[in-house]
Structure 1
Protein backbone atom coordinates (compact mmCIF):
# COMPACT_ATOMS: atom_id res chain seq x y z
CA UNK A 1 0.00 0.00 0.00
CA UNK A 2 0.88 3.64 -0.23
CA UNK A 3 0.82 4.87 3.39
CA UNK A 4 0.94 8.46 4.61
CA UNK A 5 2.58 8.72 8.04
CA UNK A 6 2.16 12.00 9.89
CA UNK A 7 4.51 12.94 12.72
CA UNK A 8 7.40 10.97 11.23
CA UNK A 9 10.04 12.94 13.15
CA UNK A 10 8.48 12.29 16.56
CA UNK A 11 9.20 9.31 18.78
CA UNK A 12 6.28 7.19 17.55
CA UNK A 13 6.76 8.12 13.90
CA UNK A 14 10.51 7.47 14.03
CA UNK A 15 9.96 4.03 15.55
CA UNK A 16 7.40 3.23 12.84
CA UNK A 17 9.90 4.17 10.12
CA UNK A 18 12.51 1.88 11.70
CA UNK A 19 10.19 -1.14 11.84
CA UNK A 20 10.62 -3.88 9.20
CA UNK A 21 6.90 -3.84 8.25
CA UNK A 22 7.44 -0.55 6.41
CA UNK A 23 9.57 -2.33 3.77
CA UNK A 24 6.42 -3.92 2.40
CA UNK A 25 4.78 -0.58 1.64
CA UNK A 26 5.50 2.77 0.04
CA UNK A 27 5.68 5.28 2.88
CA UNK A 28 5.14 9.00 2.56
CA UNK A 29 6.50 10.80 5.62
CA UNK A 30 6.67 14.55 4.97
CA UNK A 31 8.04 16.91 7.58
CA UNK A 32 5.82 19.68 8.93
CA UNK A 33 7.55 22.19 6.64
CA UNK A 34 6.19 20.25 3.66
CA UNK A 35 2.83 19.40 5.22
CA UNK A 36 1.50 21.64 7.99
CA UNK A 37 -1.48 19.71 9.33
CA UNK A 38 -2.78 22.87 11.00
CA UNK A 39 -3.52 24.18 7.49
CA UNK A 40 -6.60 22.39 6.15
CA UNK A 41 -6.23 23.45 2.53
CA UNK A 42 -2.58 22.36 2.45
CA UNK A 43 -3.48 19.05 4.06
CA UNK A 44 -6.34 18.40 1.64
CA UNK A 45 -4.24 19.31 -1.39
CA UNK A 46 -1.42 16.99 -0.30
CA UNK A 47 -3.74 14.02 0.29
CA UNK A 48 -5.63 14.55 -2.97
CA UNK A 49 -2.34 14.68 -4.88
CA UNK A 50 -0.71 11.64 -3.26
CA UNK A 51 -3.84 9.46 -2.93
CA UNK A 52 -2.63 7.26 -0.06
CA UNK A 53 -4.38 3.95 0.60
CA UNK A 54 -4.02 4.38 4.35
CA UNK A 55 -3.06 7.17 6.75
CA UNK A 56 -1.32 6.66 10.09
CA UNK A 57 -1.84 9.80 12.16
CA UNK A 58 1.02 9.96 14.66
CA UNK A 59 1.58 13.73 14.63
CA UNK A 60 0.89 15.81 17.70
CA UNK A 61 2.13 18.23 20.30
CA UNK A 62 3.17 16.04 23.24
CA UNK A 63 4.78 16.57 26.64
CA UNK A 64 4.72 15.78 30.32
CA UNK A 65 2.75 17.26 33.20
CA UNK A 66 4.65 20.56 33.38
CA UNK A 67 4.47 21.16 29.63
CA UNK A 68 0.69 20.59 29.66
CA UNK A 69 0.24 22.89 32.66
CA UNK A 70 2.28 25.63 30.98
CA UNK A 71 0.53 25.45 27.61
CA UNK A 72 -3.00 24.01 27.84
CA UNK A 73 -4.25 26.09 24.90
CA UNK A 74 -1.51 24.87 22.58
CA UNK A 75 -1.94 21.25 23.60
CA UNK A 76 -5.67 21.46 22.92
CA UNK A 77 -5.84 23.58 19.77
CA UNK A 78 -2.78 22.28 17.91
CA UNK A 79 -3.73 18.65 18.46
CA UNK A 80 -7.37 19.29 17.61
CA UNK A 81 -6.53 21.19 14.43
CA UNK A 82 -4.01 18.60 13.22
CA UNK A 83 -6.32 15.68 13.92
CA UNK A 84 -9.47 17.24 12.55
CA UNK A 85 -7.79 18.50 9.39
CA UNK A 86 -6.12 15.23 8.43
CA UNK A 87 -9.24 13.15 9.18
CA UNK A 88 -11.63 15.41 7.26
CA UNK A 89 -9.20 15.83 4.36
CA UNK A 90 -8.83 12.05 4.18
CA UNK A 91 -12.60 11.62 4.16
CA UNK A 92 -13.10 14.23 1.45
CA UNK A 93 -10.35 12.62 -0.64
CA UNK A 94 -11.84 9.14 -0.31
CA UNK A 95 -9.02 7.55 1.70
CA UNK A 96 -10.57 4.28 2.83
CA UNK A 97 -8.37 3.34 5.80
CA UNK A 98 -7.19 5.55 8.64
CA UNK A 99 -5.29 4.68 11.85
CA UNK A 100 -5.60 7.41 14.45
CA UNK A 101 -3.12 7.22 17.34
CA UNK A 102 -4.79 8.66 20.44
CA UNK A 103 -3.81 8.51 24.14
CA UNK A 104 -4.84 6.91 27.42
CA UNK A 105 -5.10 10.50 28.73
CA UNK A 106 -8.61 10.39 27.27
CA UNK A 107 -9.85 8.24 30.15
CA UNK A 108 -11.66 9.72 33.18
CA UNK A 109 -9.45 10.68 36.10
CA UNK A 110 -11.45 8.48 38.49
CA UNK A 111 -12.14 5.73 35.98
CA UNK A 112 -12.05 2.16 37.23
CA UNK A 113 -8.79 0.44 36.34
CA UNK A 114 -8.06 -1.33 34.07
CA UNK A 115 -9.55 1.34 31.82
CA UNK A 116 -11.92 -0.02 29.19
CA UNK A 117 -12.42 1.61 25.79
CA UNK A 118 -16.12 2.09 26.53
CA UNK A 119 -15.43 4.39 29.52
CA UNK A 120 -14.28 7.35 27.41
CA UNK A 121 -16.47 10.39 28.22
CA UNK A 122 -17.93 8.83 31.37
CA UNK A 123 -16.28 11.20 33.86
CA UNK A 124 -14.06 14.26 34.43
CA UNK A 125 -10.54 14.23 32.98
CA UNK A 126 -7.22 14.68 34.76
CA UNK A 127 -6.85 18.50 35.01
CA UNK A 128 -3.09 18.55 34.33
CA UNK A 129 -3.56 17.37 30.71
CA UNK A 130 -7.23 18.12 30.10
CA UNK A 131 -6.72 20.20 26.95
CA UNK A 132 -4.63 17.50 25.27
CA UNK A 133 -7.18 14.85 26.27
CA UNK A 134 -10.13 16.85 24.89
CA UNK A 135 -8.40 17.14 21.52
CA UNK A 136 -7.68 13.40 21.38
CA UNK A 137 -11.25 12.53 22.35
CA UNK A 138 -12.74 14.74 19.64
CA UNK A 139 -10.56 13.24 16.90
CA UNK A 140 -11.32 9.72 18.16
CA UNK A 141 -15.07 10.40 18.05
CA UNK A 142 -14.75 11.95 14.59
CA UNK A 143 -13.13 8.74 13.32
CA UNK A 144 -15.92 6.72 14.93
CA UNK A 145 -18.66 8.86 13.34
CA UNK A 146 -17.08 8.49 9.91
CA UNK A 147 -16.85 4.71 10.28
CA UNK A 148 -20.49 4.55 11.39
CA UNK A 149 -21.89 6.76 8.64
CA UNK A 150 -19.70 5.90 5.64
CA UNK A 151 -20.11 2.52 3.98
CA UNK A 152 -16.59 2.28 2.52
CA UNK A 153 -14.49 4.21 5.05
CA UNK A 154 -12.92 2.59 8.11
CA UNK A 155 -11.28 5.12 10.41
CA UNK A 156 -10.06 3.43 13.60
CA UNK A 157 -8.24 4.53 16.75
CA UNK A 158 -5.33 3.03 18.67
CA UNK A 159 -5.19 4.04 22.35
CA UNK A 160 -1.66 3.33 23.59
CA UNK A 161 -0.60 3.46 27.21
CA UNK A 162 2.29 5.78 28.09
CA UNK A 163 5.26 5.31 25.77
CA UNK A 164 9.03 5.63 25.98
CA UNK A 165 11.99 4.55 23.88
CA UNK A 166 14.36 5.51 21.11
CA UNK A 167 13.90 9.01 19.65
CA UNK A 168 12.39 10.38 22.87
CA UNK A 169 13.25 13.94 23.90
CA UNK A 170 14.72 13.42 27.41
CA UNK A 171 13.78 16.91 28.56
CA UNK A 172 13.48 17.51 32.30
CA UNK A 173 10.73 20.06 31.74
CA UNK A 174 8.79 18.83 28.73
CA UNK A 175 9.20 15.04 28.46
CA UNK A 176 7.06 12.24 29.80
CA UNK A 177 8.16 10.54 32.99
CA UNK A 178 10.60 7.80 31.92
CA UNK A 179 12.80 9.88 29.55
CA UNK A 180 12.84 12.77 32.04
CA UNK A 181 13.84 10.45 34.89
CA UNK A 182 16.57 8.85 32.77
CA UNK A 183 18.09 12.26 32.25
CA UNK A 184 17.59 13.29 35.89
CA UNK A 185 19.26 10.17 37.32
CA UNK A 186 22.02 10.18 34.70
CA UNK A 187 22.90 13.76 35.62
CA UNK A 188 22.70 12.95 39.33
CA UNK A 189 25.22 10.15 38.84
CA UNK A 190 27.48 12.40 36.75
CA UNK A 191 27.43 15.06 39.46
CA UNK A 192 27.76 12.48 42.24
CA UNK A 193 24.58 13.84 43.85
CA UNK A 194 23.44 12.08 47.02
CA UNK A 195 19.72 12.32 46.29
CA UNK A 196 17.13 12.65 43.54
CA UNK A 197 13.77 14.34 44.10
CA UNK A 198 10.56 12.63 42.97
CA UNK A 199 7.51 14.79 42.22
CA UNK A 200 4.61 13.97 44.51
CA UNK A 201 4.52 10.93 46.76
CA UNK A 202 5.76 8.55 44.08
CA UNK A 203 2.85 6.16 44.61
CA UNK A 204 0.81 6.96 41.49
CA UNK A 205 0.84 3.98 39.15
CA UNK A 206 1.66 4.09 35.45
CA UNK A 207 1.86 1.66 32.55
CA UNK A 208 4.66 2.28 30.05
CA UNK A 209 5.32 0.45 26.78
CA UNK A 210 8.45 0.52 24.64
CA UNK A 211 7.67 2.57 21.51
CA UNK A 212 9.11 -0.04 19.14
CA UNK A 213 6.40 -2.42 20.39
CA UNK A 214 3.71 0.08 19.37
CA UNK A 215 5.28 0.21 15.90
CA UNK A 216 5.09 -3.60 15.82
CA UNK A 217 1.41 -3.45 16.75
CA UNK A 218 0.73 -0.98 13.94
CA UNK A 219 2.26 -3.37 11.42
CA UNK A 220 0.05 -6.14 12.80
CA UNK A 221 -3.01 -3.88 12.72
CA UNK A 222 -2.45 -2.99 9.07
CA UNK A 223 -2.33 -6.68 8.17
CA UNK A 224 -5.47 -7.38 10.20
CA UNK A 225 -7.30 -4.12 9.67
CA UNK A 226 -10.75 -5.54 8.97
CA UNK A 227 -11.01 -7.39 12.31
CA UNK A 228 -9.45 -4.62 14.41
CA UNK A 229 -11.99 -3.02 16.80
CA UNK A 230 -13.07 0.60 16.27
CA UNK A 231 -11.11 1.69 19.35
CA UNK A 232 -8.45 -0.52 20.91
CA UNK A 233 -6.16 -0.13 23.90
CA UNK A 234 -2.52 -1.10 23.34
CA UNK A 235 -0.52 -1.74 26.49
CA UNK A 236 1.51 -4.29 28.41
CA UNK A 237 -1.15 -5.36 30.90
CA UNK A 238 0.53 -4.23 34.14
CA UNK A 239 1.82 -1.10 35.87
CA UNK A 240 4.36 0.11 38.44
CA UNK A 241 4.49 3.03 40.86
CA UNK A 242 6.45 6.13 39.90
CA UNK A 243 8.97 5.35 42.65
CA UNK A 244 9.41 1.81 41.29
CA UNK A 245 10.25 3.27 37.88
CA UNK A 246 12.84 5.53 39.53
CA UNK A 247 14.43 2.50 41.18
CA UNK A 248 14.42 0.42 37.98
CA UNK A 249 16.03 3.29 36.07
CA UNK A 250 18.57 3.89 38.85
CA UNK A 251 19.57 0.21 38.72
CA UNK A 252 20.05 0.35 34.94
CA UNK A 253 22.15 3.54 35.21
CA UNK A 254 24.07 2.43 38.29
CA UNK A 255 22.96 5.27 40.55
CA UNK A 256 23.11 4.44 44.28
CA UNK A 257 21.82 7.67 45.89
CA UNK A 258 18.57 8.03 47.79
CA UNK A 259 15.16 9.36 46.72
CA UNK A 260 13.14 12.13 48.38
CA UNK A 261 9.69 13.50 47.56
CA UNK A 262 8.48 17.01 46.75
CA UNK A 263 4.88 16.89 47.95
CA UNK A 264 4.16 20.39 46.58
CA UNK A 265 4.29 18.98 43.03
CA UNK A 266 1.35 17.20 41.32
CA UNK A 267 1.26 13.43 41.13
CA UNK A 268 -1.34 13.22 38.34
CA UNK A 269 -3.88 10.40 38.12
CA UNK A 270 -3.42 7.82 40.88
CA UNK A 271 -3.51 4.98 38.36
CA UNK A 272 -3.69 4.68 34.60
CA UNK A 273 -3.69 1.05 33.45
CA UNK A 274 -5.50 0.23 30.22
CA UNK A 275 -7.61 -2.88 29.82
CA UNK A 276 -5.97 -5.20 27.27
CA UNK A 277 -8.88 -7.64 26.80
CA UNK A 278 -9.61 -6.53 23.22
CA UNK A 279 -5.90 -6.47 22.44
CA UNK A 280 -5.41 -10.08 23.53
CA UNK A 281 -8.50 -11.15 21.58
CA UNK A 282 -7.12 -9.31 18.55
CA UNK A 283 -4.07 -11.58 18.82
CA UNK A 284 -1.12 -9.30 19.57
CA UNK A 285 1.15 -8.86 22.62
CA UNK A 286 4.24 -6.69 23.31
CA UNK A 287 7.64 -8.37 23.50
CA UNK A 288 9.89 -5.92 25.38
CA UNK A 289 10.19 -6.10 29.18
CA UNK A 290 10.40 -2.85 31.14
CA UNK A 291 14.01 -3.57 32.18
CA UNK A 292 15.17 -4.31 28.62
CA UNK A 293 13.24 -1.35 27.24
CA UNK A 294 14.78 1.08 29.73
CA UNK A 295 18.25 -0.35 29.09
CA UNK A 296 17.86 0.15 25.33
CA UNK A 297 16.47 3.65 25.88
CA UNK A 298 19.37 4.60 28.13
CA UNK A 299 21.88 3.35 25.53
CA UNK A 300 20.15 5.52 22.95
CA UNK A 301 20.25 8.48 25.34
CA UNK A 302 24.01 8.13 25.91
CA UNK A 303 24.72 7.92 22.16
CA UNK A 304 22.52 10.78 21.01
CA UNK A 305 22.00 13.31 23.82
CA UNK A 306 24.77 15.76 24.64
Structure 2
Protein backbone atom coordinates (compact mmCIF):
# COMPACT_ATOMS: atom_id res chain seq x y z
CA UNK A 1 0.00 0.00 0.00
CA UNK A 2 1.27 3.44 -0.89
CA UNK A 3 2.13 5.61 2.11
CA UNK A 4 -0.39 8.25 1.00
CA UNK A 5 -3.16 5.74 0.20
CA UNK A 6 -6.61 6.24 1.67
CA UNK A 7 -7.45 3.25 3.88
CA UNK A 8 -10.81 2.27 5.36
CA UNK A 9 -10.91 -0.16 8.29
CA UNK A 10 -14.55 -1.24 8.38
CA UNK A 11 -14.97 -2.30 11.98
CA UNK A 12 -12.28 -0.14 13.59
CA UNK A 13 -14.33 0.23 16.77
CA UNK A 14 -13.73 -3.40 17.74
CA UNK A 15 -10.51 -4.82 19.10
CA UNK A 16 -9.22 -6.34 15.84
CA UNK A 17 -9.93 -3.10 14.01
CA UNK A 18 -8.25 -1.03 16.72
CA UNK A 19 -5.14 -3.22 16.50
CA UNK A 20 -5.13 -2.84 12.72
CA UNK A 21 -5.38 0.95 12.96
CA UNK A 22 -2.40 0.92 15.36
CA UNK A 23 -0.44 -1.25 12.93
CA UNK A 24 -1.20 1.01 9.98
CA UNK A 25 -0.32 4.15 11.93
CA UNK A 26 2.98 2.59 13.03
CA UNK A 27 3.79 1.97 9.35
CA UNK A 28 3.26 5.65 8.57
CA UNK A 29 -0.22 5.51 7.05
CA UNK A 30 -1.96 8.76 7.97
CA UNK A 31 -5.00 8.73 5.68
CA UNK A 32 -7.22 6.29 7.58
CA UNK A 33 -10.78 7.32 6.70
CA UNK A 34 -14.05 6.61 8.48
CA UNK A 35 -12.34 6.36 11.86
CA UNK A 36 -13.46 7.69 15.25
CA UNK A 37 -16.17 10.35 15.03
CA UNK A 38 -16.28 9.94 11.24
CA UNK A 39 -17.27 6.26 11.41
CA UNK A 40 -20.21 5.49 9.09
CA UNK A 41 -22.96 2.94 9.71
CA UNK A 42 -21.64 -0.18 8.03
CA UNK A 43 -25.15 -1.69 7.91
CA UNK A 44 -26.70 1.13 5.90
CA UNK A 45 -26.25 0.56 2.16
CA UNK A 46 -27.17 4.16 1.27
CA UNK A 47 -24.77 5.61 3.83
CA UNK A 48 -21.99 3.27 2.69
CA UNK A 49 -22.49 4.27 -0.93
CA UNK A 50 -22.29 7.95 0.03
CA UNK A 51 -19.22 7.29 2.19
CA UNK A 52 -17.32 5.54 -0.61
CA UNK A 53 -18.35 8.20 -3.13
CA UNK A 54 -17.08 10.98 -0.83
CA UNK A 55 -14.04 9.43 0.87
CA UNK A 56 -12.89 7.25 -2.05
CA UNK A 57 -10.81 4.76 -0.04
CA UNK A 58 -8.12 2.95 -2.02
CA UNK A 59 -7.85 -0.06 0.30
CA UNK A 60 -10.53 -1.60 2.49
CA UNK A 61 -10.29 -4.03 5.39
CA UNK A 62 -13.75 -5.51 6.04
CA UNK A 63 -13.64 -6.95 9.56
CA UNK A 64 -17.32 -7.75 9.95
CA UNK A 65 -19.97 -7.15 12.55
CA UNK A 66 -21.20 -8.63 15.79
CA UNK A 67 -19.65 -11.82 17.13
CA UNK A 68 -19.40 -13.66 20.42
CA UNK A 69 -18.72 -16.89 22.23
CA UNK A 70 -20.95 -19.93 22.55
CA UNK A 71 -23.42 -18.16 24.87
CA UNK A 72 -24.15 -15.35 22.43
CA UNK A 73 -24.22 -17.65 19.40
CA UNK A 74 -26.92 -19.74 21.07
CA UNK A 75 -28.90 -16.77 22.39
CA UNK A 76 -28.77 -14.41 19.39
CA UNK A 77 -28.17 -16.44 16.21
CA UNK A 78 -30.50 -14.35 14.04
CA UNK A 79 -29.07 -11.03 15.27
CA UNK A 80 -25.49 -12.15 14.66
CA UNK A 81 -26.30 -13.46 11.20
CA UNK A 82 -28.31 -10.44 10.08
CA UNK A 83 -25.78 -7.92 11.40
CA UNK A 84 -22.95 -9.51 9.43
CA UNK A 85 -25.03 -10.00 6.28
CA UNK A 86 -26.14 -6.37 6.31
CA UNK A 87 -22.55 -5.18 6.60
CA UNK A 88 -21.32 -7.45 3.81
CA UNK A 89 -24.13 -6.46 1.43
CA UNK A 90 -23.59 -2.76 2.16
CA UNK A 91 -19.79 -2.52 2.11
CA UNK A 92 -18.80 -4.91 -0.68
CA UNK A 93 -21.02 -3.43 -3.44
CA UNK A 94 -20.00 0.11 -2.48
CA UNK A 95 -16.30 -0.80 -2.57
CA UNK A 96 -16.69 -2.31 -6.04
CA UNK A 97 -18.92 0.45 -7.37
CA UNK A 98 -16.56 3.24 -6.32
CA UNK A 99 -13.32 1.66 -7.46
CA UNK A 100 -11.51 0.49 -4.33
CA UNK A 101 -8.17 -0.91 -5.47
CA UNK A 102 -8.32 -3.90 -3.13
CA UNK A 103 -10.32 -5.29 -0.21
CA UNK A 104 -9.41 -7.87 2.44
CA UNK A 105 -12.40 -9.59 4.04
CA UNK A 106 -11.95 -11.21 7.45
CA UNK A 107 -13.94 -14.43 7.70
CA UNK A 108 -13.93 -16.78 10.73
CA UNK A 109 -12.65 -20.27 11.46
CA UNK A 110 -16.18 -21.43 12.33
CA UNK A 111 -16.95 -21.62 8.60
CA UNK A 112 -14.94 -24.85 8.50
CA UNK A 113 -16.84 -28.15 8.95
CA UNK A 114 -17.29 -29.42 12.50
CA UNK A 115 -15.75 -32.76 11.53
CA UNK A 116 -12.76 -31.51 9.61
CA UNK A 117 -9.34 -33.02 9.01
CA UNK A 118 -6.75 -31.15 11.07
CA UNK A 119 -5.12 -28.78 10.53
CA UNK A 120 -7.90 -27.22 8.47
CA UNK A 121 -7.25 -26.16 4.88
CA UNK A 122 -9.41 -23.98 2.60
CA UNK A 123 -9.90 -26.94 0.25
CA UNK A 124 -12.06 -28.53 2.99
CA UNK A 125 -14.56 -25.68 3.17
CA UNK A 126 -18.12 -26.83 2.51
CA UNK A 127 -17.25 -30.53 2.69
CA UNK A 128 -19.68 -31.17 5.58
CA UNK A 129 -21.85 -29.22 8.08
CA UNK A 130 -20.40 -26.59 10.39
CA UNK A 131 -20.55 -26.67 14.19
CA UNK A 132 -24.28 -26.30 15.13
CA UNK A 133 -23.66 -23.91 18.06
CA UNK A 134 -22.36 -21.22 15.67
CA UNK A 135 -24.15 -22.18 12.45
CA UNK A 136 -25.99 -18.90 11.84
CA UNK A 137 -22.91 -16.73 12.36
CA UNK A 138 -20.80 -19.12 10.29
CA UNK A 139 -23.25 -18.97 7.38
CA UNK A 140 -23.08 -15.18 7.39
CA UNK A 141 -19.29 -15.25 7.31
CA UNK A 142 -19.41 -17.89 4.57
CA UNK A 143 -21.72 -15.63 2.56
CA UNK A 144 -19.17 -12.83 2.78
CA UNK A 145 -16.47 -15.11 1.41
CA UNK A 146 -18.67 -16.24 -1.49
CA UNK A 147 -19.71 -12.65 -2.24
CA UNK A 148 -16.04 -11.62 -2.46
CA UNK A 149 -15.46 -14.44 -4.94
CA UNK A 150 -18.53 -13.39 -6.91
CA UNK A 151 -17.37 -9.77 -7.20
CA UNK A 152 -13.96 -10.98 -8.35
CA UNK A 153 -15.52 -13.29 -10.95
CA UNK A 154 -18.10 -10.84 -12.29
CA UNK A 155 -16.31 -7.51 -11.96
CA UNK A 156 -12.63 -8.39 -11.61
CA UNK A 157 -12.58 -6.94 -8.10
CA UNK A 158 -9.48 -7.64 -6.01
CA UNK A 159 -11.45 -8.89 -3.01
CA UNK A 160 -9.52 -11.53 -1.05
CA UNK A 161 -10.50 -13.44 2.10
CA UNK A 162 -8.44 -14.23 5.20
CA UNK A 163 -9.61 -16.84 7.72
CA UNK A 164 -8.13 -16.21 11.18
CA UNK A 165 -7.59 -18.52 14.11
CA UNK A 166 -9.28 -17.51 17.40
CA UNK A 167 -8.16 -13.90 17.93
CA UNK A 168 -7.62 -12.42 21.39
CA UNK A 169 -5.70 -9.57 22.94
CA UNK A 170 -5.90 -6.01 24.28
CA UNK A 171 -9.32 -4.43 23.88
CA UNK A 172 -11.27 -7.68 23.61
CA UNK A 173 -14.54 -7.97 25.52
CA UNK A 174 -14.13 -9.30 29.05
CA UNK A 175 -17.09 -7.71 30.79
CA UNK A 176 -20.01 -9.83 29.60
CA UNK A 177 -21.09 -13.42 29.10
CA UNK A 178 -20.78 -12.75 25.37
CA UNK A 179 -16.98 -12.65 25.58
CA UNK A 180 -14.79 -15.13 23.75
CA UNK A 181 -12.96 -17.77 25.76
CA UNK A 182 -9.71 -15.93 26.61
CA UNK A 183 -11.42 -12.69 27.62
CA UNK A 184 -14.10 -14.52 29.60
CA UNK A 185 -11.62 -16.68 31.53
CA UNK A 186 -9.29 -13.78 32.20
CA UNK A 187 -12.12 -11.73 33.70
CA UNK A 188 -13.49 -14.65 35.69
CA UNK A 189 -10.14 -15.54 37.25
CA UNK A 190 -9.24 -11.94 37.98
CA UNK A 191 -12.54 -11.37 39.77
CA UNK A 192 -12.23 -14.68 41.63
CA UNK A 193 -8.74 -13.75 42.79
CA UNK A 194 -9.95 -10.42 44.18
CA UNK A 195 -12.98 -12.05 45.83
CA UNK A 196 -10.99 -14.95 47.28
CA UNK A 197 -13.21 -17.52 45.55
CA UNK A 198 -12.06 -21.11 45.93
CA UNK A 199 -12.91 -22.15 42.38
CA UNK A 200 -13.64 -20.91 38.88
CA UNK A 201 -15.99 -22.79 36.57
CA UNK A 202 -14.84 -23.34 32.98
CA UNK A 203 -17.47 -24.27 30.40
CA UNK A 204 -17.11 -27.70 28.79
CA UNK A 205 -14.75 -30.58 29.34
CA UNK A 206 -11.62 -28.55 28.67
CA UNK A 207 -10.60 -31.05 25.99
CA UNK A 208 -11.66 -29.03 22.92
CA UNK A 209 -8.58 -27.77 21.09
CA UNK A 210 -8.12 -24.37 19.51
CA UNK A 211 -5.63 -22.30 17.54
CA UNK A 212 -5.24 -18.93 19.28
CA UNK A 213 -3.95 -15.82 17.49
CA UNK A 214 -2.71 -12.65 19.20
CA UNK A 215 -4.56 -9.64 17.82
CA UNK A 216 -1.38 -7.69 17.01
CA UNK A 217 -0.15 -10.63 14.94
CA UNK A 218 -3.50 -10.77 13.16
CA UNK A 219 -3.27 -7.06 12.34
CA UNK A 220 0.21 -7.59 10.94
CA UNK A 221 -1.03 -10.55 8.87
CA UNK A 222 -3.92 -8.54 7.41
CA UNK A 223 -1.53 -5.86 6.19
CA UNK A 224 0.69 -8.61 4.74
CA UNK A 225 -2.29 -10.18 2.94
CA UNK A 226 -3.32 -6.81 1.55
CA UNK A 227 0.16 -6.26 0.15
CA UNK A 228 1.12 -9.78 -0.90
CA UNK A 229 -1.89 -12.04 -1.57
CA UNK A 230 -3.99 -11.86 -4.74
CA UNK A 231 -6.02 -15.08 -5.17
CA UNK A 232 -9.65 -14.02 -4.74
CA UNK A 233 -10.84 -17.55 -5.47
CA UNK A 234 -8.91 -19.12 -2.59
CA UNK A 235 -9.17 -17.82 0.99
CA UNK A 236 -5.98 -17.92 3.04
CA UNK A 237 -5.62 -19.02 6.67
CA UNK A 238 -4.00 -16.91 9.38
CA UNK A 239 -2.84 -19.36 12.05
CA UNK A 240 -1.52 -18.43 15.46
CA UNK A 241 0.67 -21.52 15.38
CA UNK A 242 -0.87 -23.01 18.51
CA UNK A 243 -2.85 -26.21 19.04
CA UNK A 244 -3.86 -26.18 22.68
CA UNK A 245 -6.80 -27.43 24.70
CA UNK A 246 -9.19 -25.07 26.45
CA UNK A 247 -8.04 -26.68 29.70
CA UNK A 248 -4.42 -25.81 28.98
CA UNK A 249 -5.32 -22.24 28.05
CA UNK A 250 -7.29 -21.93 31.29
CA UNK A 251 -4.26 -23.12 33.26
CA UNK A 252 -1.98 -20.65 31.48
CA UNK A 253 -4.40 -17.79 32.19
CA UNK A 254 -4.56 -18.93 35.82
CA UNK A 255 -0.76 -18.63 36.02
CA UNK A 256 -0.68 -15.20 34.34
CA UNK A 257 -3.42 -13.84 36.61
CA UNK A 258 -1.98 -15.48 39.71
CA UNK A 259 -5.27 -17.05 40.71
CA UNK A 260 -4.58 -19.64 43.47
CA UNK A 261 -7.92 -21.45 43.39
CA UNK A 262 -9.23 -24.52 41.60
CA UNK A 263 -10.50 -24.85 38.03
CA UNK A 264 -13.74 -26.83 37.68
CA UNK A 265 -14.77 -27.99 34.21
CA UNK A 266 -18.54 -28.10 33.68
CA UNK A 267 -19.06 -30.93 31.20
CA UNK A 268 -22.80 -30.17 31.02
CA UNK A 269 -21.92 -27.05 29.00
CA UNK A 270 -21.08 -27.33 25.28
CA UNK A 271 -17.50 -27.60 24.05
CA UNK A 272 -18.26 -26.42 20.54
CA UNK A 273 -16.22 -28.06 17.79
CA UNK A 274 -13.85 -30.73 19.17
CA UNK A 275 -10.82 -29.26 17.41
CA UNK A 276 -10.14 -26.19 15.29
CA UNK A 277 -6.56 -25.59 14.19
CA UNK A 278 -5.61 -23.87 10.96
CA UNK A 279 -3.00 -24.86 8.42
CA UNK A 280 -0.90 -21.73 8.03
CA UNK A 281 1.46 -23.15 5.40
CA UNK A 282 0.24 -20.97 2.52
CA UNK A 283 0.86 -17.71 4.35
CA UNK A 284 4.17 -19.00 5.73
CA UNK A 285 5.28 -19.81 2.18
CA UNK A 286 4.73 -16.15 1.29
CA UNK A 287 6.88 -15.08 4.25
CA UNK A 288 4.51 -14.41 7.16
CA UNK A 289 4.50 -16.14 10.55
CA UNK A 290 3.14 -15.07 13.94
CA UNK A 291 5.71 -13.38 16.16
CA UNK A 292 4.13 -13.66 19.61
CA UNK A 293 4.12 -16.78 21.77
CA UNK A 294 0.89 -17.72 23.49
CA UNK A 295 2.30 -17.04 26.96
CA UNK A 296 3.66 -13.63 25.95
CA UNK A 297 0.34 -12.77 24.31
CA UNK A 298 -1.65 -13.75 27.41
CA UNK A 299 0.70 -11.68 29.58
CA UNK A 300 0.30 -8.64 27.32
CA UNK A 301 -3.47 -9.08 27.30
CA UNK A 302 -3.65 -9.20 31.09
CA UNK A 303 -1.35 -6.19 31.40
CA UNK A 304 -3.71 -4.20 29.20
CA UNK A 305 -6.70 -5.54 31.15
CA UNK A 306 -5.20 -4.25 34.42
CA UNK A 307 -4.52 -0.86 32.85
CA UNK A 308 -8.13 -0.58 31.66
CA UNK A 309 -9.42 -1.64 35.08
CA UNK A 310 -7.30 1.07 36.70
CA UNK A 311 -8.80 3.69 34.37
CA UNK A 312 -12.32 2.59 35.32
CA UNK A 313 -11.59 2.74 39.05
Using a 3 Å threshold, how does the CA distance of structure 1 residues 41 and 236 change in structure 2: closer, same or farther? same
1:261 aligned residue: 265
Aligned residue pairs total 305
Compute the TM-score of the two structures, normalised by the length of structure 1.
0.95
Matched, 1:231 2:235: yes
CA contact (8 A) 2:122 2:234 kept: no
Mapped partners of 1:22, 1:4: distance in 2? 15
Show CA shifts across 1:59-95 (max 9, x none). 3101111011110001101101101210111112222
Of residues 2, 10, 19, the one that matches 1:6 is: 10
Show CA shifts across 1:239-296 (max 9, x none). 1111101100011111121111212211100000011111111210010000000001
- CA RMSD across the alignment: 1.7
Deviates more, 1:129-138 or 1:88-97: 88-97
Unaligned runs of 5+ in 2: none
Matched, 1:166 2:151: no
1:88 aligned residue: 93
1:200 aligned residue: 204
Unaligned runs of 5+ in 1: none
Mapped partners of 2:175, 2:165: distance in 1? 20
CA contact (8 A) 2:214 2:240 kept: no
1:143 aligned residue: 148
Show CA shifts across 1:200-243 (max 9, x none). 11100011111000111122223324478841100123311111
CA contact (8 A) 2:62 2:104 kept: yes
CA contact (8 A) 1:16 1:22 kept: no
CA contact (8 A) 2:107 2:145 kept: yes
Deviates more, 1:120-129 or 1:284-293: 120-129
2:293 aligned residue: 289
Matched, 1:104 2:92: no
Matched, 1:117 2:119: no
Compute the TM-score of the two structures, normalised by the length of structure 2.
0.93
Mapped partners of 2:113, 2:39: distance in 1? 36
Shift of 1:198: 1.4
